[in-house]
Structure 1
């Protein structure tokens, strides 16, 4: 008998100087990766989201996953490159830097898909 994994929702708000959101993230079977693309393993923000939601932390630098498997991408881009890639693919994106929409992909960076300046204290479980 296999046990069905239970997921919880979290609300992620912009941190100091940040932009966008709030995002409500709820992993689902087949789309439960908390995708950390920060270059140093699993970033503490990604770890906190995974811990609170029951999602699976995933190091996006060591391995790749299909966009359809990603519940949320946690990035550390202060520029214009990665900031728009995940929103362009309709993947909710959390930037640890307080960035605003800019660059060639800025039309995809919308408040319903992107939030920035996020620290661990900007993540809360949504009850119910």
Structure 2
């Protein structure tokens, strides 16, 4: 992709490397635990405690990506929350559905606090 309108940066390296492709109308969502120097690209930035929340609420950083998806959907409305839940639950390992559903809710709740 050469002209993205959205960047989810879960690391400083990703934020630094890919922010150059963003424009003033773009959105960057960062994991505040790992991205401390947010590049200035002229667009909107949401700094969220994604990995911190995964560890604190769910006990494992492993759920950070699912929390990020929940936040991304809440902030952008790119797909419906119902569609996101269905898609995630169809892809996660059997027996982890409840934790992943909780992770989505955590992400949506985090995003809701800044809207």
Q: Which has the higher contact order (CA 8 A, sep 6+)?
A: 1
Identify, as 1 or 2, the structure richer in strand: 1
TM-score using structure 1 length = 0.29
TM-score using structure 2 length = 0.31
